Amino acid sequence: MTPPLPPALLVCALAMVPALQAVDYPREIRPLLRDRCSSCHGPLKQKGDLRLDAGSLIPRESHREILTRILSHDEDERMPPEGARLSAEQVALLRDWLAEGAPFPQDEVVARAPAEHWSFQPLSPGPVPRSPHAHPVDAFLFGNGAAPPRAPDTSLLRRAHLDLTGLPPTLEEQRRFEQTPDLGTVIDHLLTRPEYGERWARHWLDVVRYADSNGYERDAAKPFVWRYRDYVIESLNRDKPYDRFVLEQIAGDELDDASVETHVATGFLRLGHWDDEPADPQTDRYDQLDDIVSTTGQAFLGLTIGCARCHDHKFEPLTTRDYYSLVSIFEPLERPRKGRTELPVMVDGTEVYAWREPSAPPPLSTILIRGSATRRGEPVTPAVPVILASRQPDFPAPGRPGTGRRLGLARWIADEHNPLTARVIVNRVWQQHFGEGLVTTANDFGLMGAPPARPGLLDWLAAWFMQDARWSLKELHRLLLTSRAWQTVKTGDSPIRYRRLEAEAIRDSMLAASGQLNPKRFGPAFRPSIPAAAIEANTDKTSVWSPSAEPEASRRSVYAFIKRGLVIPMFETLDLADTVSSCPQRQVTTVAPQALTLFNGDFANAQATHFAARLRREAGPEPEQQITMAWRLALCRTPSEGEAARMKAFLAGESLEQLCRVILNLNEFVYPE
């Protein structure tokens, strides 16, 4: 075998190779520098005091050294040090670009130092812009320009009901609105209804990876986990201030006024999937702690902290020490169990699904080298990421019943001076109402996340939420829904980005239209019917439940049993959230099984049958009245002359049940507009 040329000779050899056509820096060089160089020579760290993530930062005297190191066969010298070598084409591109003098656009944007990143800065809410629009949101969005046209009243009524309660307005609610079309009054009323908490709890449950079972092979049910789901619903309905909501979920058992309710709130920490017989118990223990740290970081701070478990974060100013300092906050927790069986915690006699923190001295916490549970490094103590704190928060002295570590973290997260907490939650609420967040990466406000589309509006909303609304989510809903921005008709310049309704809202709307919706609230989950084909495909058929009877199974979908190993097929087909990790926003796919589920599925056909029976019962035998009522119940409007004529012609050859099935499959039924 011919020995490889020394790097210096390779550089000379490359210089003799004919140059490629002119190098396109933005398209060919900048992405190459970003993907293969910036993790070691970027804004986070600069090995050898060399920064390579932008052309303007590369000194001319380093050009030859860069090529030499790229071509080196010495594993201690070559760049990049990890992963595949650069291809011959990539090396040639860099060679030609460096030979040209490494030109770059004069207006090239250079990433700031991490400490200067927008989301790490204190809130800087400016005044509401001067504008003819009286509503502050409209003033920010439209300035001195005209707003898009307002949607029709009937459309706004349905949209408000679906946004706030996940259910269409009843016939009586439609009639009242026709007599007094006051949308503000409707919004106020909807925010007082218990259905509001059921609707918005589902959004939060997505973020905190809620499910009723553990996952893994045996996928056992989590005992009394439904109490946490009910806690979220009740907290939202009572408009619990969001800062208190945060405190209770992270450290409810450590509060001075701790109660059964606040203990239930800490179920947040235990919602993750759990292996009841891990192959490596020690590694599994740190997997569980990683789940807590990662979800806490994403849910409350919008940061991907979990990526620093094995090494300093490649793209964010988060170190391995930062990560394990957070792990040490949760390390005193113990999972109550007896063998493979999870146990609840007893609090004043009702059973609670939560961790237990004994009063014994906490374990010694250390960095785990490369994330390995058997390779312990330097000791760490409780702390929050250095990039986010000019000084560390006060961690209470240990005492009964716990160490107070989680309380120190929770107070820091919920403090109004934390630059992230309010920004993250107002963005989540905006995302649900407008279809897309002001920051489109709702779980990632870090350097690799999307910048805010309207930074001034985001900071104004966050400051207003904390100071004027006093952390009230209901006040935030009221502010957004009374804006012209939310009330616009869907046009190219509208801030609304309509998305298909979630699986739960589609199912609940079917039940509402058919008259079968059971309003029963709270308590253990009901078991929906599972198609035989899905059961047959399940690895453990004995763990599949017998379905609940129809009245119980007709409750709102938020009360359905979510089994990680066997997701309800209708929910899975219609893009149920991932239950293993935090889900910032549901996917919206368009695949053939969705049409088959909504048109041929057992549930859809059963509701079409109930819907038809309701129409015969309440509208009478005349097709015209049946069609009109069907349209009002399902779509909250009367049919046009053309629609009514087509439906009447359809009924001439088909049954009322088939007509109802068609209506429940209209695009308009599964979209809020």
Listed as own residue / partner, the contacts of 106-112 with beta carbons closer than 8 Å and 24 or more positions apart are 108/54, 108/55, 108/56, 110/53, 110/54, 110/56, 110/57, 111/42, 111/43, 111/53, 111/54, 111/447, 112/43
HSE toward the beta carbon, residue 449, CA cutoff 13 A: 28
Q: Are 655 and 555 within one domain?
A: no
List the one residue out of 183, 153, 155, 158 whose CA is nearest residue 170: 158
For residues 262 and 537, which has the higher predicted lDDT (pLDDT)?
Answer: 262
Residue 249: is its pLDDT beyond 90?
A: yes
Residue 331 domain flag: yes
Please state, rounded to an integer, the average pLDDT across all residues of the chain.
Answer: 92
Give the angle 142-145-151 at the CA atoms, nearest 5°. Answer: 65
Beta bridge mates, 351: 346
Instruction: Give backbone dihedrals phi and psi of 366, rounded to 5 degrees, phi first.
Output: -140, 165
Residue 306: is its pLDDT beyond 60?
A: yes
List the one residue out of 407, 395, 387 whose CA is nearest residue 318: 387
Please say which residue of 369, 385, 404 terminates a domain: 404
Residue 553 domain flag: yes
State the total domains in the chain: 4
Residue 260 domain flag: yes
Q: What percent of the chain has pLDDT over 90?
A: 73
List the one residue out of 201, 242, 209, 578 whose CA is nearest residue 424: 242
Contact (Cβ atoms closer than 8 angstroms) between residue 427 and residue 458: yes
Enclosing domain of residue 645? 602-670
Please say which residue of 404, 426, 447 terminates a domain: 404
Taking residues 628-642, what's their average pLDDT?
97
Confidence of residue 111 (pLDDT cuts 50, 70, 90): confident
Taking residues 635-642, what's their average pLDDT?
96
Taking residues 567-579, what's their average pLDDT?
94
Q: Are 257 and 399 within one domain?
A: yes
Residue 449 domain flag: no
Residues 6+ apart with CB under 8 A from 310: 320, 370, 371
Residue 140 domain flag: no
Confidence of residue 535 (pLDDT cuts 50, 70, 90): confident
pLDDT at 673: 82
Q: Are 14 and 61 within one domain?
A: yes
Residue 197 domain flag: no
Please say which residue of 88, 111, 134 terminates a domain: 111
Q: 303 vs 208, 255, 444, 447, CA distance in Å?
A: 14, 25, 5, 9
Residue 2: is its pLDDT beyond 50?
A: no
Residue 116 domain flag: no
Q: Are 256 and 367 within one domain?
A: yes
Q: Does residue 382 have a cis bond before it (omega within 30 degrees)?
A: no
In angstroms, rounded to a whole number, what is the distance separating the alpha carbons of residues 671 and 232?
A: 26
Q: Are 628 and 552 within one domain?
A: no
Residue 57: is its pLDDT beyond 90?
A: no
Q: Are 518 and 573 within one domain?
A: yes
Q: Are 250 and 324 within one domain?
A: yes
Taking residues 552-568, what's their average pLDDT?
95
In angstroms, rounded to a whole number, what is the distance separating the alpha carbons of residues 654 and 658?
A: 6
Q: Are 528 and 666 within one domain?
A: no
Residue 9: is its pLDDT beyond 60?
A: no
In angstroms, rounded to a whole number, what is the distance separating the alpha carbons of residues 598 and 33?
A: 48
Q: Are 250 and 396 within one domain?
A: yes
Neighbours of 398 (CB within 10 A): 14
Neighbours of 5 (CB within 10 A): 13
- For the stretch 384-433, pLDDT in tens is 999 999 889 988 766 555 789 999 999 999 999 999 999 999 999 999 99
In angstroms, rounded to a whole number, what is the distance separating the alpha carbons of residues 367 and 382?
A: 12
Q: Are 514 and 645 within one domain?
A: no
CA 348 from chain centre, in angstroms, equals: 34
Give the angle 227-228-233 at the CA atoms, nearest 5°. Answer: 95
Instruction: Give backbone dihedrals phi and psi of 125, rounded to 5 degrees, phi first.
Output: -70, 120
For residues 590 and 54, which has the higher predicted lDDT (pLDDT)?
Answer: 590
Confidence of residue 3 (pLDDT cuts 50, 70, 90): very low
- For the stretch 164-213, pLDDT in tens is 999 999 999 999 999 999 999 999 999 999 999 999 999 999 999 999 99
By three-state DSSP, how is residue 467 classified?
helix
Q: Are 579 and 622 within one domain?
A: no
Residue 608 domain flag: yes
pLDDT at 168: 98
Q: Are 263 and 399 within one domain?
A: yes
